[in-house]
Amino acid sequence: MNNGNLFDLSGKIALVTGASRGIGESIAKLLAQHGAHVIVSSRKIAGCQAVVDDITKAGGSAQAIACHIGEMDQIDAIFASIAEQHGKLDILVNNAAANPYFGHILDTDLSAFQKTVDVNIRGYFFMSTLGAKLMRESDGGSIVNVASINGVIPGDFQGIYSITKAAVISMTKAFAKECAPFNIRVNALLPGATDTKFASTLVNNPKILEQAMAHVPMKRVAQPDEMAGTVLYLVSDASSYTTGTAINVDGGYLIG
């Protein structure tokens, strides 16, 4: 089953979305350090290529493929390309997400609603169906969905985003149940506030940050690298009997 190292990913093909920066970049680099060939993906190829260059300089194996997960034709295309080039997929990390609207839920307009749903629900869903079909053709695999603590407790003025993240937690369980017979495990990571571009309004505003940290027992935001270890665990043999779960990595926030 493994060579004594539960975290060895040698020979595995891994696709990480939203991997040009932030949490996805940290995940891509850690999976590559553990031996996976990592497909680094996001909308803009240049940022992905920079991450690939870092990985290859460090002795790892990676390639960049652009994919906007809100566009169905681009989702189809990335899996066609992986099937053609590699003939299999072992690991899928659905990490790229959209959060275009910050404001009162009653003022959510249709375009913000549509964009958030198209990327965070439809995108994660069809990335998972196509990814799992490819995994089913070989020995199975592991999918990790990056959701959010906001999927459990809605973030203030982040209504539609929080609703989509709750859907991702539900999606994780539904896929886990129906894909277990194909030896495909599906789990979720629920990050708390993490120091990335995504959370820059929070992290760069001392007053908002202080208010937010009042609810975090560890009294600090996470660094992106602090999310990657949980993903490594979830995609490796170390978690071989774990499916349908959601792991909070939130400095204790969800203790309440």
Ligand X SMILES: NC(=O)c1ccc[n+]([C@@H]2O[C@H](COP(=O)([O-])OP(=O)(O)OC[C@H]3O[C@@H](n4cnc5c(N)ncnc54)[C@H](OP(=O)(O)O)[C@@H]3O)[C@@H](O)[C@H]2O)c1
Active-site residues, by number, are: 161
Q: How far apart are CA 229 and CA 30, in angstroms?
A: 8
How is residue 191 written in tokens? 């990050």
Q: How far is the CB of 143 from ligand X (least distance, A)?
A: 14
Based on CB atoms, which residue is closest to ligand X, 41 or 142?
Answer: 41
Q: How far apart are CA 136 and CA 175, in angstroms?
A: 13
Q: Residue holding tokens 């070989």?
A: 138
Based on CB atoms, which residue is closest to ligand X, 87 or 102?
Answer: 102
Q: Residue 112, Cα to own-chain centre: how many angstroms?
A: 21
- Residues within the interface to ligand X (CB under 6 A): 17-24, 42-44, 47, 68-70, 95-98, 119, 146, 148, 191, 193-194, 196-199
Q: How far is the CB of 130 from ligand X (least distance, A)?
A: 15
Based on CB atoms, which residue is closest to ligand X, 10 or 157?
Answer: 157
Q: How far is the CB of 181 from ligand X (least distance, A)?
A: 28
Residues 6+ apart with CB under 8 A from 154: 162, 163
Residues 6+ apart with CB under 8 A from 53: none
For ligand X, the nearest residue by Cβ is 22
